[in-house]
Each structure stands twice: as structure tokens, then as C-alpha cells.
Amino acid sequence: MNPLVRKESVTVNPFWSKTDISVDQENMIQRLSHLKEEIDSRGYSEQEDKLEQLMEKVYTGEYMAVFSGHFSAGKSSMINALFEEDLLPSSPIPASANMVQIKSGDPYAKILFKNDEVYEFEHPYDIEEIKNYCLNGNDVKYVEISHPSTFLPEDFVIVDTPGIDSTDDAHRLATEASMHLADIVFYMVDYNHVQSELNFEFVKELEDQNKKVILIVNQIDKHNELEISFRDFKQGVKDAFADWNIDLEEIFFTSLIDLSLEANEFNDLRVYITGLLANRHVEVIQNALEASYLIAENIKETSLQEKLHGEAPKSNEGELQNRYDQLNNQIEALDQKVEEFKESFEADLGKLTKSAILMPFEVREAAKQFMEASQPDFKVGFLFKDKKTKEEKKNRFDTFYDMLSKQASSQLEWHLKELLVQKSKEWEIGDERLFKELYNISIPIPEELIDSELETGAGLTGQAVLNYTEGVSSSVRRIFRQKGLQEMDRLADILSESLEEQKKEIKRERNELSAELKKQQTERALIRKEEEWFIKCIEILEGHYNKHSKEAFQKWQTEKEGNLKQSTIIKSGEKVSGNNEADKNEKKDAEDVEIERPQALDTKEYLVQAAEDLNEAARKVEIVPELSAIARELKQRAERIESREFTVALFGAFSAGKSSFANALLGESVLPVSPNPTTAAINKICPVTAEYPHGTVKVQYKTTEQMLEDIQYSLSYFDMEAETLEEAVSLIKNKVLIKKDVTARAKPHYTFLKAVNKGAAHELQNLDEVQKVGMEAFGELVAKEEKACFVNLIELYYSCPLTDQGITFVDTPGADSINARHTGVAFRYIKESDAILYVTYYNHAFSKADREFLIELGRVKDVFELDKMFFVVNAADLAKNESELQHVVTHVEDNLISYGIRKPRVYPVSSHIAALSKGLEKGNLSKENRDRLSKLLKLKSKEEISSSAGIKESGIQEFENDFTHFISHDLTGLAVAAGYADIDRAISVINDWVSASRQDKNIREKQLNELQKRKEDSIEYVRTFDHESNERAFNQETKELVYYIDQRIFLRFSDVFKESFNPAALSKSKGNVKESLIDCLKELIGFIGFDLAQEMRATALRTEKYVWKIVDETYTKFKKTATAELPGLQLSAIEKHSFDMPDFEEELVVEHFDKLKGIVFSSFKSPKQFFEQNGKELLKEKLEEELKSPVNHYLEQKKSDLQTAYWKAYQIVVEELEQKVIDEVNNHVEGKKAALSVSIDPETLEDLANSLKKIMPESS
């Protein structure tokens, strides 16, 4: 190994340390070696590799400036410009597939393979071969290129990384895997894609890692001051990053195309980079310390996630202990409750019995009377005295007993019942049924008690009476007390049972708390152990273990020297076999071959001419009354052709240049153009009408219901709900906008809600309205989000060559719009538009935002009668040469084919050059724009600008030729051909009648006699036609169509799952990883719901096509039967129209979502287990199985909706068709009768047929 290059100590202050740390290069590596040993013992190989790379970086003392950002933002070109040498491949499609390190020094190139082989190419080497290795992400770990530079010292390394938004996920992962080595990150974006969500998300991640981030906005030569001032553009960039709470170190605005631009800060960037040199050795040490800290912290967090099974540790142990103690107290209280009840009851029962007055005067007198009758010498009467004495004694007994019983009932029994019920309620014993039982208690006094209390020989003294009555009273009280205590025991048993249930529930909670307390104590111990390990790591980095660190370093050095693999030296001029990443079959530069095609027609003029011909034919035909029906049809056809208008829908991701392309087509700057996302509403540019003259703007604001629906959809990303618009606006202001941390998934919705809040005060009042405004208000309504978010549709009535041809342009929201309604709206325009223009950006040819929309186009392309799709690669002026341009076009074609779009028509166009050239052609181009056009055309200073040359150079001419031909021949031709077919039908009918009228009289009479029967047979066939076989075929067709949706959904499941459950999504979770897992699950289910709705929409189109197919077959049967019965009958062609499509919700209802959450939680133990082991694959299989049922349920329900809607459409069409055939049969028969009876002059008919033939086009 080479000796260390620096010995002196440096003082650094990493973000996690409260004090400065003094350390030299050797001591730093010693500490990292020691830390590596600690990590090695934990088994985290990926993190160990990162630390190894950091050690090698510190050992060499290299300062690494990492260039990252969008693919094709110009990273490689920027590095080439800094080195003033073409070192790296640069391309408008993803170029670098792995990390490429560029160093200043003696020239060589080194390739480090993933199998640890090393190739070192001696200078001079074949730069193209090295570039091919840069593109080989499968076998190559990284490429190292050394080249002499006066600009940078040898220990300053520039690193080129793959684009983070490439459609290849491996590119982003390669970029993220290199960030720990970055001492500074230059994040590059191209001018048109600054405000991509991916930019904010990735830069935010870098900031969270404490990386110094410099933003470079490249390709500012695209800026057009007439569209937006550069000052406003710069401020917009700063504001957008500030909205994400991103504090950028610096922002540079650059162009490598035009270094003379006043706003170009390329030289400032070079100065800034040289300014980094002075302190680079300190920053290498400090950044290594901080990166090492983050590596150790990541291991700690990952380990905790593994041990805690992905749950966030809880810290409410004190609260749990308090609750545990409360529960214990509750159990003790319940244990005492029965005794407390008894004590309370007995006390009240004693008071009740004691206070009862049982012997008032009347009862005492009755007792005395009874005592008297009980004396031995008591006698009544003289005759039959024994019998009368007994009867008297019995009567006195009964009287006393009854009075005593009543007194006991009123004084004891009722109050005892009341006491029992009162205590039951007070102690929550029993219910109304028990209370009823208690009230029904009967406590009789035993009759023997009356006699048992009498004392023999007591006499009738006052004392004797008192003793007797008190004895009876005591016995009665005792009876009631015993009954009370008996019922008390019964109630106590019921209470005890109830309390046992309560205690059971409390004990269950106590046991759960006990388990949770033990779990938290265990967690605390685990956390403490991890924290202790982490603190030790920090102490190692701070130099607390220098002796051990030295030993670890010596061990590492020895191992390193032993493992050094010799490079395979590739001599200058020598080729290496097997480097096949280059396109061996690169297409030759396209030759300038003029494609000959039919002359495009003036569409409107063509239609008007056809309509005039049809009207003229109608006027000639209507002279013959029997031809009045045909005349009427010709007039109707003429009216439809004359009023025929065409809808052209523009699609593309934001900033693809849809609006600028539309302006180039229109030949005027009609739509606002900005590098920031603008099209929030749907914008139409329509032909002018009498009601809406040139320059009128019709604004259709959203309905209150639509606005609430859009806000509710965005609020759902923050787990918020609102029932009313007022409540929703309040939530936005008081809850959403005060949030500090907004997830990347929710950020676009945050931006939308922020716009709603900003515009609410002025725009809410406009909801549900349609307004007319002028052109001056149009720009603001389109471009200002706080206005546009309240608008549903804007129609600009504008006169220009294309709209004057009856063409309406629809500029749609981006394919990546967040508005849930826009996907349905977009599909409606795919279905109903006459032409589709999909615009993508030259050096952003395909991003993920394009993918889903293009897949949808691929699903339906074959459904349409004509291929109405055109694909435009905008900003083709960015191509360095024809070869590169062809390479990009091929890349676009290949991607389109992979999305199911066969034989795509792809046109590279420079909207900018086209618009400027058309302005020059009209003579209204400013000097500033003339200079701009000259520069774009790369003209010499005195070379004259030619508008025709500019239009040809822009590529728009070829597109316009094909597009205009499509409109004027393919689309218009169908309608016009149908019109002339009606004239031809009229000629055939007339000729048939002429022939019939010139037949022999007998033949004519015979035909006349048969005609009515033939007519009736034809009509009878139509009216009694059995559609059952059609219905069976229709049901089978729709069943198969829907069946294959299920197949396709789950064919994509693996890819969709990987996108939803990706390392980046889970690595961003700051707190409970379960929340991130739930977000991933929701994203997966949400995407499947979206995909199902899109599939159903495509299936609806196929179903509609099938309906028209069986309608055609049915009509063919009608025609065949009718013409067989009625020779000469000419039935008119069917005019097809579009059916209303059922609504397909983009929501997959998953009723067992909690079960799915459980499956996800149980499948995720840690990122390592999930991504590096088999956890992710196992979860995918389980979720795929679980989601089959809700997907099947959705499809079954939608299949039913589809069949109901489209069979009804079939029935309506066929019913109209039946009536049409019957009417035409009747008209034909009436005309034929007139011809056979010679009531029409044959010569007149023949002249009419000849005059109609003259109207027909020569080609007919």
C-alpha cells in the first residue's frame, strides 16, 4: 500500500459532537479500522463495505465531489466541460449505469468489476471502449478515469452517478449507494424539470444525511424571456425548495451550449469548486467521521428494528406501572365489596326493624282482647257456651292476627322490599327482573307465633299485656330480619358473581400490562445495550480507544496488502473481448429522403365542398316524391359533414412541452409556457363561433361537489376527513399547512392544498359558475395554481389556420397529475378524441410518470378504427448530431413497443425553432428572437435566416404533413366517403327503378302483385329476429375480456410490489416503521385499484367495439334477407356513435385490511431480513394470494355493470336499426310500385341518375 500522504492533525466539529475533535489522517484510519471491527462483529456486510470504502478514501486523502440528479440533466457533459475533455458518455437517455470516478493525474483508465477483477488501460486508450464500461451496470462495480487537469489537484475526485429517475431502479440504487463517500453533492437538474417531486425528495434525503448540496440548474439556454422572466424563474426555484424546507448551500444556473449567456454561472461554478480546495483535507476527515457515525447509527436502528420486529420502542413505562397499581387496587376493592355490601345492608336492616311500629293502640287492644279470650276462666253465654267461647276466641285471634299482619306489612314488609331493591340498585346488583322478584316477596307471620308468646297464668294486667305485645313484636321483627338476611345473602352471591366477571376483565388487563411492562423492560435493556454499543462507536471515533484502534489499523493494513489483486494491464491499442454493452448495431445516420405522400387538403374546404355536393344531390332527388326519404338523408348527412369538427388531445408528463408544441402547431403563442408545472385545469383551444368570437375565454369553474371531492382526496393523504367545503378549508389552514414533516407521497397533495388555501378567499365564490373573460385573464387562470386549482375547464375561442379547419386542441393535465378525476377525464379524451398527440421531452425521453399512461394507450390502440396516435419527442434541437437524434428516437420507439404500442409514429420536433420560424414567416419576430433563432440554427454571424429552413430544421414539417394528411384524408375521408356513398345509393335505386319501369307489362304486373308479400316477409324477418345467440356471444366475450384482466393484474404484481415496498420508502421512516409499512401497503392496494379501473376502461372500449361488431353482423343479416326479397333495395350504411361508459372507481375495497397489516408486520423483521433475505419474496406471495379475492370481487361487480350497460346499448341500437330498415323497405316498395306502374317517367329518372353521377368525385 502507498504511504499516507498527510501527517498533520486537523480540527473538526462533526454535527453530532459538542466539542471539536483533533485528529490526523493516520489516526482517523485507525479509528475507522477499530469501528470496522465493531461492525464486523455485528454481521452487517453492506455497512462494513461502506466503512471499508471510507477507510480507503481517507487513506488516499481524496476529496469526492459527487454529481447526481436527473438522467440527462447534463452531469457527464458538465464533468467533461470541467476537465475540458470528452471523458464520459453523455446522452439524452440514461448514460452512466454505475459510479464513474474522474481524477486529475497521469492518464489511465481502470475498470473494477463486481468479481474483484481489475483492468487498467494504459494511455492512450480507446475512450469509446471505456465509455462502454461506464454503461455496463451488470458486471462493473465502478470505473476510474485519470486525466491531467490544471483545474483540479490529484486528490480531488469527481464522481459521476446514474440518473436517479431512470426507469431502471438499479441506477437509483447505485447512486444512493455512493452518497456516503460524498464530501459535497452537486445535484443537477435540467431547466425544464426543476420542480419534479423526485428532485425535492432526493435532495431532502441528502440534507437529512447532513450532506452539503449544491443545486445546478443546467440548460438555461432553453429559457425564453418572453415566457417568464429569468428573475421570476430563479425565484420560483428558490421558493419551491424552501417549500420543502430544504436549505441549499448554493444554486448555480448554467448552460454548456451557450457560455456567452449573461445568466450563465458556469464560470462561477468553476470558481466555487476551486474555492473548495483550500479546506478539502479538513472536510475529508469531518465527512468521514459523520458518514461513519451515520453508518453506526443505521446499524443500531436496523438492529433495534430486527429485535423489536419493526415496532417503535414505547416509552410509557411509568404510565403503565401507575395503571398496573390502579388495577391491583381495583381488585382489592372488589374483594372487599361483598362484605361492605353486607355491612351496609345489615345496618340499614337493623334500623328498619328497630324503628318499625308494630303495636299501635288498636293492635295492642286486639292483642289484649285475644289475651282475655285465652284466659282459663273466659266464658261466653249460657247456652252452648263452649262452642260460643271457642268461636269468640277464634274471632279475636283472627282480628289480632289480621291487624298484626297488616301492621307488619306496612311497617316491615314494604320497607324491606324497598331496602332490597334500593341496595340492589346502589350496588349494581341484578336488573329489572330481579327487582320484580324482590317486590313480589311475601313474608307471612306464622299463626302459631300468636299463641307461643302467651304466658300461662300471666293474667290481664297492664304489665302482662305489655310483655305479650313486646314478645310478639320481637318475634315478628326476628322473622323479617331473618328474611332480610336471607335475601341479603342471595344478593351478595349475585354481586360476587358480577364482581368475579369484573375482576376477570381487570386481571386480563393487568396481565396484558404485566406482559407489556416486561416487554418494555426488555426493550429498554435492548435499547440500552444498542445505545451502549453506539456510544462506544462514537467514543472510538472521538479517539477514546487509541491503543486498540492502532492494533485494528495494523491488522487492516496487513489484510489489505494480502488481498491486493493485481490489475490486468491493457496495453495501448489492445482490445478486450466481452465488452458488449455498446450498441453494436447502431443505426446509420438517417439520410435526407423526401417522403412522397398525397397532397394534404384544406380540411374545412374539403368538408364544405362535400356538403355542397350532398345538398345539390338532395335538391335534385327531392323533385321525385318517392325519393324524398333519400333526399332527407342526404341533407342530414350534408349538415353533419359541414359542422364536422375534430378534437385533438395533447398528453404528456409535466414540462414535456405540450403547451409549447401546441403553440408551434398553432403558429402563435396561445398557451402559457413555463418550465414549472402549469396545466392544472383542462384547456381547450376551440374554433370561433358567433357566440364566442376570437379571443373569448369561457371558464367553467369546478362545482362545489367537485372541489370538495378533490380536496377530500388530497386530505386523505394526511389521514384527515372533511364533510363540507368550509370544514375542508379550515382543516387545510389549521392542520395541514402547519405540518413540519410531510412525506414525499403526500407532498404533491400538500402543494395542491397550499394553492387552495392561497386562492380560497377570492376563488371559492366562483365555484359552480361559468364566466366569460378576456385573453389577459387566460394566462393567470392557466399558470397560477392558486387560480387554476378551482377551474375545471377553460375554453379559448381562437382563430388560426388549424382551428379554422374545425380543429379543437385539448391541453390536458400532465400524465403525472395528482387529481384522481384526471385519469378518468384523460381516458375519455383517449376514447373520444379524433387524434392523440403524446409529447415527451428529448433529454427526458421516458420517465416513470409516462409509463402508466403509455401502457393504457397500448391497451386500447388496436380498438380504434384508425391509428390516431402520434408521438412527439420535443426539444430535438438539443441533439448534438443526427446520430444521437436517431438513437433517442429508437429508444422512444423501443419503449413504446414494450408498452404495447405497435408501429408507433414518432416525430422528433423542436417546438422552439418551429415557433420562432413561423413567427419569422409572419414577419412578427422581434430582434431578440431573431438572434435566438440564428443561434438555435447555428448560423454564422452574417448568414441570412430563412423561415422555411428553420421550419424544416425543426422537424415539425414532417409531423404537420402526416398529421394534416391524417385529418384531411383518413378522418375526413371516412365521413365524406360515407356521404358520396349515399349519392351512389340514390343512383343505384334510380337505375333499378328505370330498369323496372322498362320491363314487359305482364312482368311488371306480376312483380306488383308479389311486392306487398315480399315487403311483409322482409319486415316480419326484422321484427321477429332472435337476438338470443348474440346475447350469449356477448356475455361470453365480456366474460373472457374480464378474465384476462385478472391475469394481467397479477402478471404485473411482482413489479408493482417491488415499487411499493422499496428500500427508499422504508429507510425514510423516522419513527414507527409500521407506519411506513402501512403506507407501502396502501400504495400497493391503491395502485392495483388504479390499474383495475384503467383495465376496465380499456375493456369497456373493447366491449363497445364488440357490440358494434355484432350490430354489423345483425344488420348484414337484415340486408341479406331484405335484398333477397326485394332486389334493387339499397339500405343505407350504419352511422356509428360512442356509448356512455360506466364509471369505474379507482378504489379496491379490501375488507380484511387489518389482516393484511398483520401479515405485513409479521413478515417484516428488519430491512436486512426483508430485502437481503427472503422476507420480501414471502410477503409478496402472501399478499398476492390475499388480494386475489378483492380483485375478483371488483372484477365480478364491474363485469356485471359492463354487461348491463353495453347490452342495453346494443338493444337500443338494434331497435333503432330495425325501425330504420322497416322505413327504408317501405320507401323502396312505394318507389318500386311507382316505377312498375310507370307513374314516374323513366327518362326523367335516367336524367336524374346522370346528373347525380356528375356530382360524384372522379375517383368514384
Q: Which DSSP string corresponds to 581-594?
A: -S-TTPPPPPP--P
- CA-based radius of gyration for the chain: 47
Q: Return the amino acid letter for 1049.
A: I
Q: What is the pLDDT of residue 679?
A: 44
- 870 is written with which cell numbers? 402520434
- 303 is written with which cell numbers? 438492529
Q: In what order do the strands lie in the sheet with 568-570?
A: 250-253, 213-218, 184-190, 63-69, 156-160, 99-104, 140-147, 108-113, 118-122, 568-570
- 937 is written with which cell numbers? 440554427
Q: In Å, how far from its chain's centre is CA 1000?
A: 77
Strand locations in 278-434 (E)? none
Which segments of the chain have a pLDDT < 50? 1, 3, 167, 580-601, 678-679, 818, 820-821
Rounded CA-CA distance 752/1002 in Å is 83
HEC profile of 684-733? EEECCCCCCCCCEEEEEECCHHHHHHHHHHHHHHHCCCCCCHHHHHHHHH
Q: What is the pLDDT of residue 503?
A: 85
Q: In what order do the strands lie in the sheet with 696-701?
A: 770-773, 696-701, 791-797, 682-686, 807-811, 646-651, 835-841, 869-874, 906-908
| 3-state secondary structure at position 491 | helix
Phi, psi at 154, each rounded to 5°: -65, -25
791 strand-pairing partners: 701
Strand locations in 70-180 (E)? 99-104, 108-113, 118-122, 140-147, 156-160
Rounded CA-CA distance 559/568 in Å is 21
For residues 872 and 840, the answer to whether their CB atoms sit within 8 Å is yes
For residues 947 and 606, the answer to whether their CB atoms sit within 8 Å is no
User: Nearest CA to 1209 among 1143, 1142, 1144?
Assistant: 1142
- 329 is written with which cell numbers? 387496587
Identical fold for domains 63-278 and 645-703+770-910, yes or no, is: yes
Q: What is the pLDDT of residue 1182?
A: 92
- 342 is written with which cell numbers? 353486607
Rounded CA-CA distance 160/166 in Å is 15
Q: What is the pLDDT of residue 1009?
A: 86
- 1124 is written with which cell numbers? 333477397
User: Nearest CA to 540 among 296, 176, 225?
Assistant: 296
Q: Where are the domains of the chain?
A: 63-278, 317-523, 645-703+770-910, 704-767, 998-1127+1150-1255
Q: Does domain 645-703+770-910 have CATH number 3.40.50.300?
A: yes
Describe the crossing of helices 603-621 and 628-642 by its angle, rounded to 10 degrees: 170
Strand locations in 727-826 (E)? 770-773, 791-797, 807-811
Rounded CA-CA distance 219/205 in Å is 25
Phi, psi at 967, each rounded to 5°: -70, -50
Q: Which residues touch 742 (CB under 8 Å, ≥6 apart)?
A: 750
Q: Which residues touch 68 (CB under 8 Å, ≥6 apart)?
A: 75, 161, 164, 175, 179, 185, 186, 187, 188, 202
Describe the crossing of helices 462-542 and 361-374 by its angle, rounded to 10 degrees: 130
For residues 902 and 882, the answer to whether their CB atoms sit within 8 Å is no
pLDDT, tens only, 417-453: 899 999 889 888 888 888 898 889 989 999 888 888 8
For residues 748 and 818, the answer to whether their CB atoms sit within 8 Å is yes
Side-chain-side CA neighbours of residue 523 (13 Å)? 20
pLDDT, tens only, 832-848: 888 989 988 877 656 66
Q: In Å, how far from its chain's centre is CA 370?
A: 98
* Alpha helix (H) residue ranges in 764-881: 775-783, 785-788, 820-832, 848-860
Count other C-beta atoms under 10 Å from residue 994's C-beta: 19
CATH number listed for the domain at residues 63-278: 3.40.50.300
Q: What is the pLDDT of residue 591?
A: 35
Q: What is the pLDDT of residue 1038?
A: 94
